[in-house]
Amino acid sequence: MVRLGDLHPVEAEHLLARAANMPAMGVERWLQPPPVTEATVAIVSTAGLHRRNDERFRAGSIDYRLIPGDVDFADVVLSHISANFDRSAFQQDPNIMFPLDRLRELAESGEIGGVANWHYSFMGALPDPLLLEETGEEVGRLLAADGVDVALLVPV
C-alpha cells in the first residue's frame, strides 16, 4: 500500500505541488446515466497505453490513442515517460491498468450493460490538466456518439 507519505519525499512534494496548481473542474451539469446494468462502459486511461504499431507518446503529448474493445493484450504496450511508477505489475497483468477483461466479465454476468467498442488512452503527467481540454472534449463527444453511457477513468 502506498500513500503520499510512503513515496520518496521529492516525489510526494512534486505531486502535492501539482495538486495545488490543478484547476477545480466543478460540474456544469450533473449527468445521470442509465442503471449500471444497462450502461455501456468505456475505459479512458492516462497510462500512455497504445497498440504496438501506434505512434509512441512523447513527454507532454496532448493527443490520444484509440484502443479497440477486441484488442489482444499482446498488442498493447505503454510509452508513458515517468520513471516513478512500476511497470512490472502491468507486464504481469495488463488488467491492473487497463481492466478490459474485467469489463468483459461484468458484461457477461449482466452487472454492466456492455463494453464499448473503443477505449482511449492519454499520456498522463502533464503540467496542467487543462492542456487536455480540447482532446478530452473530443473523446467525450466520440464516446457519447458511440452510445457509451459511462467512462471509467483510470489513472496510473
Partner 1 sequence: MATASISLIKEQTERVNPPRALWVPFELGRPLGSAEDPQFQRNVIRAALAMLETATEPTIEDYPVEAPDEAGPGQWACPLSIAPPDTPATATGRLLAEVSRLRPWSAETRRARGRTLFGASGAAIDQVDEVVRALTSIAETGDVTSMPAGDVAWSMPPPLLIRHLADDLRTLYHEAIAARPGPDAPNHDALNQWIFTETALGEVLLAVADRLTEDGSRRALLVRGLLIPEGHYRGGSAFASGAARIEPDRR
Mention every residue, 6+ apart, whose C-beta is less than 8 A from residue 100: 43, 69, 71, 73, 94, 115, 119
Residue of 18, 66, 71, 107 that binds partner 1 (CB under 8 A): 18
**How would DSSP label each residue in 100-142?**
HHHHHHHHHTTSSSEE-SEEEEEB---S-GGGGHHHHHHHHHH
SS3 call for 20: helix
Residue from 65, 103, 114, 120 touching partner 1 (CB under 8 A): that is 103
15 binds partner 1 (CB under 8 A): yes
Counting contacts by CB under 8 A, is residue 138 touching partner 1? no
**Inter-residue contact 33 to 42 (CB < 8 Å):** no
Site for partner 1 in 107-126 (CB under 8 A): 111-112, 125-126
Query: Restricting to residues 28-47, which ones interact with partner 1 according to CB under 8 A?
Result: 30-33, 35-36, 39, 41, 44
CB of 133 to partner 1, least distance (A): 11
Compare residues 69 and 140 and give the one whose CB is closer to partner 1. 140
Is residue 150 part of the contact set for partner 1 (CB under 8 A)? Answer: yes
Of 81, 107, 118, 138, which lies in the binding site for partner 1, with binding defined by CB under 8 A? 81
